[in-house]
Structure 1
Amino acid sequence: MLEGPTAALFLLAACLACWAGMGWLALAMDGHWEQVFQAEQPQSVVWRLRAQGAAGLALGLVLCLQADHASMAALVWVMMLAAAALSVAMTLSWRPGWLAWLAWGARRA
């Protein structure tokens, strides 16, 4: 269990990982992809985005576990998932183009 600024940095990194994970999972859906890119989604990127999304959420959990004990880390992680989902949903409704940078690796493949 970490304390002080180090724990805060781990929690910040966990928050960013959860946000990116939710963004990747959102971009894996046809409707959200079309919202962001105004183009049809290539099937080759769906599984890559899903895998990246799952990895981002798992990384968020690992980082939370590094910052605090297991019961508190699980609670914080679930709250981060909710906040990340809300944040991605608001971004999709307000400025969907802001999520385009999340797909740079998936679009290249």
Structure 2
Amino acid sequence: MSEAALATYLLLAAWLASVAGMGWLAVSMPGHAQQVWERIPSSAMARLLRWLGVAGIIAALGLCLAVDHASMAVLVWVMASTGASLLVAFTLAWRPRWLRVLAPWV
């Protein structure tokens, strides 16, 4: 696999990790959880979702750092996180139940 293809796959994985992380953080909030599941998860489940969200965002940063030098990686990570948060926000506004995919066990 070429270096450019590997970098592309790693950046795609970073963006997907950002989407998952932002989604988990969003559904850990009672208001958004109500939209997604029509009920509020337990406090332990909300805590787990928050930790998963943080792990997703940190994983995205790690993947970005694996692709490029630190200053560029942080810039790409911020842009990926911003795009992911917009995608999650628009999904919550349009089809909130689609976010059930992120936590089918709830």
TM over 0.5: yes
Q: If the TM-score is normalised by the length of the shorter chain, which range does it land in?
A: over 0.9
Partner SS, residue 104 of structure 1: coil
Are the equivalent residues in 2 in contact too, given 1:3–1:67 (CA < 8 A)?
Answer: no
Structure 1's consecutive aligned runs of 4 or more residues displaced over 6 angstroms after TM superposition are none
Distance 1:7 1:40 in 2: 39
Instruction: Give the AA of the match of 1:71.
Output: S
Which structure 2 segments of 5+ residues have no match?
none
Is 1:95 equivalent to 2:95 in the alignment?
A: yes
Which structure 1 segments of 5+ residues have no match?
none
* TM-score for the superposition, normalised by structure 1: 0.92
Distance 1:20 1:87 in 2: 10
* TM-score for the superposition, normalised by structure 2: 0.94
Distance 2:70 2:46 in 1: 32
Where does 1:59-74 land on structure 2 (aligned, <5 Å)? Answer: 59-74=59-74
Distance 1:33 1:103 in 2: 11
Instruction: Give the AA of the match of 2:80.
Output: M
Is 1:35 equivalent to 2:35 in the alignment?
A: yes
Report the counterpart of residue 75 of structure 1 in structure 2. 75
Partner SS, residue 39 of structure 2: coil
Aligned length: 105
Distance 2:35 2:23 in 1: 13
Distance 1:41 1:51 in 2: 15
Where does 1:21-60 land on structure 2 (aligned, <5 Å)? Answer: 21-60=21-60
Deviation at 1:42, TM superposition (A): 1.6
